[in-house]
Structure 1
Amino acid sequence: MSDRVHPTLDDPVVASLSEGVGGPMGSRGTRHPWWTPLRVVLALTAVCFALGMVQKNTCYQASWQNGDTRYSHMCYSDLPYLYTGRGFVELNWPYSGDEQVRARYDVMEYPAGISYFAWGSAWVTHWLSGSPDLSPRYGRSVGKLTEEKAIQREMRLFVTVNAIGLAAVTLLAAWFLAGVHRRRPWDAALFALSPMLALTGLVNWDLLAVVTVAGALWAWSRDRPVLTGVLIGVGAAIKLYPLFLLGGVLVICARDRRLMRFATAAVAAAGAWVVTNLPAYLTGREQWDVFWRFNADRGADLGSIWLVIQQVRDGSEAFSFHPVTINQASWVFFGCWCLGVLLLGMFAPRTPRLAQLGFLVVAGFLLVNKVYSPQYVLWLLPLAVLARPRWRDQIVWQAGELFYFAAVWWYLGGFLSPGGGGDVGAYWVAIVVRMVAELYLVAVVVRDVLRPDHDPVRAGEDEPEPEAASPLPEPALSR
């Protein structure tokens, strides 16, 4: 398309970097007939994800059995430990109520969507391993199973199978993001080249929710409220946070006086969530409920400001916030934050974009949540790159995330502990730096909402355009 915004002409950082390869796109520049923006974005995503797999190689070679390496090399992943720790090594259904299974293995403490994917990956792992006889494993302790070379090979294969599946959904997410804004497919390159995508993509299964968020943004840009709701509902069955996108949809529909679109999306989301959870609920209601109890009972954990406050108030273990106190306080803070986003959206000069509202709501949730794991940066990534498609601001934000990523593993490995003992103040600094970097991006997005002429997507538009455009045949053609 001749009206596509080229990044070397739109972004000062990209323009400066392009000087080494000939400078910004000129008036006589021509586009490659095959390397379209979408294909370039997909290729960059594949390379980035592959680098993330290489980064885990040290732990992979040791089957994640070296306790120091997983932290010193920052290659930790939950996947191999959950393969043995949650019974996938014996192909147990995550929601089995069998007494022998529950006596040996803890219940999968994740939402249903992740449990399904993990169980399916375990099935593929066993099939690729030649469908080994499982009966000898039943009489051995879980710890002994982990020490067996054959099981360790399966653990590595399980991670590989998951990596291939997650790579596929990451490419799909990039495809969705490249098609959200009609004239700006290159904005998805911010997602494709994200260092945090490479570093955290295989820590857990969060990318499964990321693709539903990217898909919901794409569906909304195509004026498909039912599909938007379905993707939000499926995403909420994987991780709860995609549900917060409905708040952005509500603001947009309220401003445009089209509340039926919001009702349609909300009903579709509820239906999709119920359908997705139904197999787990029907086969093991008690096991399905573990996720909700686990999160309600969880105390201040890694990455949260609550952990900093708790440790600063008393370096010993004598003081700690009760989980109920944190739950109540965090929900009050989050409720006030959501009210602020609502007022911002309703009184802004122009209707904010869904990515902007979604980013602000999810950021508020993470900032006051009682756990902020390093891979949670992925929750914000697709929203952030479309909410503020500027390389400078993305670099500032992700630099804070990168600093925290290194600090959390070195903290867990004991490498940040002072030689003379005492508190690990360096880890507190990393948490605060991460929050400050995130708040910086929040402030810039708020500024863009209040002053649309600063919004790269809206700058230069003569007339306001509706949030949802008419359906178009190519993903890169819809705003």
Structure 2
Amino acid sequence: MPSAETTPASVDESEPVLPTRDDEIAASGSELIGGPVGRHALLGATWWTPVRVVVFVAIGMFALGLVQKAPCYDGAWFFGASSQYTHACYSDIPHLYQGRGFADGLVPYFDKLPGDMDYLEYPVLTGVFMEVAAWLTPGSGSGSIQHQEQWYWMVNAGMLMICAVVIAVCVARTHVRRPWDGLLLALAPAFVLTATINWDLLAVALTAAAMLMWSRGRSLAFGLLLGLATAAKLYPVFLLGPLFLLCWRAGKWRDFGRALGGAALSWLVVNLPVMLFAFDGWSKFYRFSQERGVDFGSFWLIWAQNTTTPPSTDFVNAAAMALVVLCFAGIAVLTVTAPRRPRFAQLAFLVVAAFIVTNKVYSPQYVLWLVPLAVLARPKWRDFLVWQACEVTYYLGIWMYLAYTTSGDAHKGLPTHGYHWAIAVHLLGTLYLCAVVVRDILLPERDVVRRSGDDDPSGGVLDGAEDVFVLGSAARRPQPAVPFGGPTVEWGTRGPTDGSL
């Protein structure tokens, strides 16, 4: 670990971190808008604060994503299955308007659906979101079904755009001295392309808000929001695992207890009424998750499509569970033995990535779960863009593969072996980013957040806290008195919180 003499020049903890001075890729990209910020620039002297710029860019990019879906909106969703794939503009939203009974006024979880899917297969809060969108859809229950589905998608797109703005604000504000990192999220191509495929942005927005609350030391609010996020999608609950280990290492049991209690309370408030009065409908999400077979985007699919005896669903369920438990155990060991306590965002990214990579399905919109966490875990433009390039490759690959399988034309789209390469690319991209984050934990002097003078800006009560429990080499290693940004900065110091960065 470097001493104070080997660290960069001392850092003013009240100053924002400017990517154009700190990141060579950001500096090169800034040439499109005038070049890097000068040494004598008057920061904060304009209405355009970093958070407002990030929000403006996020809205503009989201709008471009809607334009990208225009060929489907104009007819590809309704006429010819393969055209929605060749235009790479597929979305579940218009198809499920009729397919899950919203067009007929059926109540999710309570009313049984015709066909094989007897109940809505989404968690309760997502079902509420879908139902509210149906209520807001003009002409719902009248007119042509195509017209209703178009409006339903537009209403959902508007609601999801609000979620995207919430995510952008929360990510830009979580690391107080690094608001410009929010541009990574706002400009992320995979985020834009997948934002309106499904309803994942609701859970992502609630999780991002929870992370912001934890960074401000509001553990109960964090728990309440995380419980709501888990009521919309399963993955947010995994953040409690690394948080437990970090609070154990720092001795912050009271804050973890508040977070856990808040999460349990809000999850129960949402789920308990449906659980009590419509248990079969409520449990459909969990039964469907167990019963569905190997699906798109996973390495299990490559295995299943390259063997004469594909693995059974029961075997894949058990094997995937074993793999993710092993990954979680490895992350736990890393947490308590790392030379410095890992940052919360780093571990949050790793546990969610481990769950996705080992799962039997890796849908293209699952990248939305990772983007905000990746920005907070590794705000380095080069690594982030490498990963995004891999995800865009997969985004195009899956639609070209579905075009190949639905068109009946062997010369149209991407054949199976090509799709397998696309799966490999996006899995390797995610694993690459995981490897870089693990390296930052083991070698904290390589962590760009800590090099800029912070300890754990998303850690809330963990930021700058002393360790009370460690194992292995960490127990024998003295804790540095200063971060890697320089000798004048104390652990846990914070910059301004008024957004005027």
What TM-score, normalized to structure 2?
0.86
- Equivalent position to 2:261, from 256, 262, 267: 267
Matched, 1:18 2:35: no
State the distance in 2 between where 1:280 and 1:456 align.
45
Match of 1:86 in 2: 100
1:44-100 deviation per Cα after TM superposition (whole angstroms, max 9, x unaligned): 1101111111111100011611312210001000001110001100121112246xx
8 A contact 1:178–1:475 mirrored in 2: no
Q: Aligned residue pairs: how many?
A: 454
1:328-367 deviation per Cα after TM superposition (whole angstroms, max 9, x unaligned): 1111111110111111111112221111001000111111
Root-mean-square deviation (Å): 2.5
Match of 2:62 in 1: 49
Instruction: Label 1:403 to 1:103 Cα distance change in 2 as closer, same or farther (>3 A).
Output: closer
Q: Secondary structure of the equivalent of 1:4?
A: coil
> Match of 1:187, as an amino acid?
D
> What is the identity percentage for the equivalent residue pairs of Structure 1 and Structure 2?
43
The structural deviation recorded for 1:105 is 7.1
- Equivalent position to 1:223, from 217, 223, 227: 217
Matched, 1:162 2:152: no
8 A contact 2:14–2:177 mirrored in 1: no
Match of 1:139 in 2: none
The structural deviation recorded for 1:390 is 0.8
State the distance in 2 between where 1:270 and 1:238 align.
14
State the distance in 2 between where 1:387 and 1:36 align.
23
Match of 1:451 in 2: 443
Q: Which runs of 4+ in 1 moved over 6 A?
A: 420-423, 462-466, 470-473
Matching of residues 201-350 of structure 1 within 5 Å: 201-314=195-308, 319-350=309-340
Q: Secondary structure of the equivalent of 2:174?
A: coil
Match of 1:138 in 2: none
Match of 2:5 in 1: none
Match of 2:427 in 1: 435
The structural deviation recorded for 1:463 is 7.2
8 A contact 1:201–1:207 mirrored in 2: yes
The structural deviation recorded for 1:307 is 0.7
The structural deviation recorded for 1:282 is 3.4
State the distance in 1 between where 2:438 and 2:219 align.
25
The structural deviation recorded for 1:442 is 0.5
Matching of residues 397-476 of structure 1 within 5 Å: 397-414=387-404, 424-461=416-453, 467-468=459-460, 474=497, 476=499
Instruction: Label 1:422 to 1:208 Cα distance change in 2 as closer, same or farther (>3 A).
Output: closer
Match of 1:109 in 2: 121
Match of 2:485 in 1: none
Matching of residues 94-105 of structure 1 within 5 Å: 94-97=108-111, 102=114
Instruction: Label 1:28 to 1:426 Cα distance change in 2 as closer, same or farther (>3 A).
Output: same
8 A contact 1:169–1:208 mirrored in 2: yes
Instruction: Label 1:70 to 1:103 Cα distance change in 2 as closer, same or farther (>3 A).
Output: closer
State the distance in 2 between where 1:156 and 1:33 align.
40
The structural deviation recorded for 1:191 is 0.6
What TM-score, normalized to structure 1?
0.89
State the distance in 1 between where 2:338 and 2:29 align.
34
Match of 1:176 in 2: 170
State the distance in 1 between where 2:32 and 2:225 align.
42
The structural deviation recorded for 1:194 is 0.8
8 A contact 1:108–1:115 mirrored in 2: yes
Match of 1:379 in 2: 369
| Structure 2 residues not aligned, in runs of 5+ | 1-12, 464-493
Match of 1:5 in 2: 17
Match of 1:68 in 2: 82
The structural deviation recorded for 1:418 is 5.7
The structural deviation recorded for 1:22 is 3.9
